[in-house]
Amino acid sequence: MTDDITSVGEGSRPETGVSALKGRPGAGAPAETRGKTTIADGVVAKIAGMAAREVPGIYNLGAGMARAFGAVRERVPGGGGGAVTRGVKVEVGERQTAVDLDVVVEYGVSIVDVAAGVRTNVISAVERMTGLEVVEVNVAVDDVHLPDEEEETGADEGRVR
């Protein structure tokens, strides 16, 4: 029995029975096989950051210093663009990606359940939107937000009206 699909390596000639889906450029090839799609790390980081923030029990993303620098950066005109990706680190390959998240959870929630929810939501969103296989989502819980803690605000905000 012979196989109708033969992979064609670089430098070799196509042989009879080669599928049109295997690298045949031109008008006869399906549209989805013509060209290459690359996805930047920042795109995956934004998707992962948004998906993580949607999970109930997540207060914020980013470790202490990252949040402090992010708060300062957001006050500078034009400097707040990185808020979505704060606390998110990704590695993107051709077909796979890995995500590392630094999160702050609300006091009283089950950290294990929140982390599982984050993993599920991030994997679902990244795979659905990019087509990349998510090989791992590492969640580092850096802090717990207490109900009576106020978000760090500028001392000048209440002085002049």
Residue-level pLDDT, tens digit, the chain, 161 residues: 444 443 334 444 444 333 333 455 677 788 877 888 899 999 999 999 999 999 999 999 998 654 455 555 555 555 555 688 999 999 999 999 999 999 999 999 999 999 999 999 999 999 999 999 999 999 999 999 998 876 554 444 555 55
pLDDT at residue 43, rounded to an integer: 96
Q: Tell me what pLDDT residue 52 has.
A: 97
pLDDT of residue 40: 95
Q: Strand pairing partners for 103?
A: 61, 141
Predicted local confidence at residue 49, as pLDDT: 97
User: What pLDDT is stored for residue 3 in this prediction?
Assistant: 43
Number of Cβ within 10 Å of residue 5's Cβ equals 9
Query: Quick one: pLDDT at residue 123?
Result: 98
Q: How many CB atoms lie within 10 A of CB 58?
A: 23
Query: What pLDDT is recorded for position 150?
Result: 67
The reported pTM is 0.68
User: What is the distance between the alpha carbons of residues 129 and 37, in angstroms, rounded to a whole number?
Assistant: 13
Q: Quick one: pLDDT at residue 27?
A: 75
